[in-house]
Amino acid sequence: MTTVVGFIGLGNIGKPMALRLAQQQEAADLEVWVYDVAPDPLAEAERAGARIAASVAAMAARSDVLCVMVRDDDQVREVLGEVLGVAGDRLTVVIHSTVAPGTPAALAATAARHGVRVVDAPVSGGAMGAADGSLALMVGGEEEAFEAAEPVLRVLGSKVVHAGPIGAGTKFKLARNMMHFIAFTAATEAQRLAEAAGLSLKDLGDVVRHTDAITGGPGAIMHRETTAVLDPDDFWYGVFSNVTSLGVKDLGFAIELAHQLGVEVPLAELAIDRLGPGLGLPEGDH
């Protein structure tokens, strides 16, 4: 049977997501409807094959899956308020917006009183990933709700993770983005060091992107099921001991260079002390 999909919020990420659904609707057996307050992205989605809904309520009344990609918690609540009361009991609402950790569970509890299911499914991969369907989607919700939304999610992304109950997707996204933006901050520190040393920042960026594509970047250390202290007999003990030894050596040299050049590198100074314990090495083994 054809799944009727509504998509609300055609912004920087939402628009390419909606276009992806519209372009794939025949192959995925979807009927795609869109809604936004701005006319231009609606017209673009219509040219791609989507249909324009007159209102959120009108869309909710006909949809099986309703994707929400609006700006913030308040807008998500506003959308859900317009949906409840007009939606049938077959509806599953998918919250793609990144919201506060407690918001999905609160909204799901409210929606359940109206027979509506909710999953939170924030995304990672940016506009490029949205355009070509290579997003990662981190999903929280009950199994039945996840199964209802899954065919749509797999059109939107090439990595779909059912992280756990409602709210788990949002917590997953926040952990992922915490690493993302801390890494950006570390990159600015490395740039200042490179600039002070007379190096090309563009070349440094090229090298970082090249090698991270090979090694996996920060994700290369993320293979364990726990952050507990490692037993010396654990396979990862030897691996992370080596990583820590190399890291402490190179961080030490980088910090020494920074001091010579008068560059402040507080994250590097924090990392040299926290790398080993963070990887799970017992105190005194790093």
Residues known to be catalytic: 173
Nearest-CA neighbor of 68 among 121, 114, 22? 121
Task: Report residue 43 as tokens.
Answer: 């017209």
CB 17 within 8 A of CB 137: no
| SS3 label, residue 33 | strand
Distance between alpha carbon 111 and the CA centroid of its chain, in Å? 24
Pairwise CA distance, residues 65 & 18, whole Å? 13
Residues 6+ apart with CB under 8 A from 38: 10
Per-position b or e across 115-143, b if 16+ CB within 10 A of its CB: ebbbbbbbbbbeeebbbebebbbbbbbee
* C-alpha–C-alpha distance, residues 17 and 133, integer Å: 8
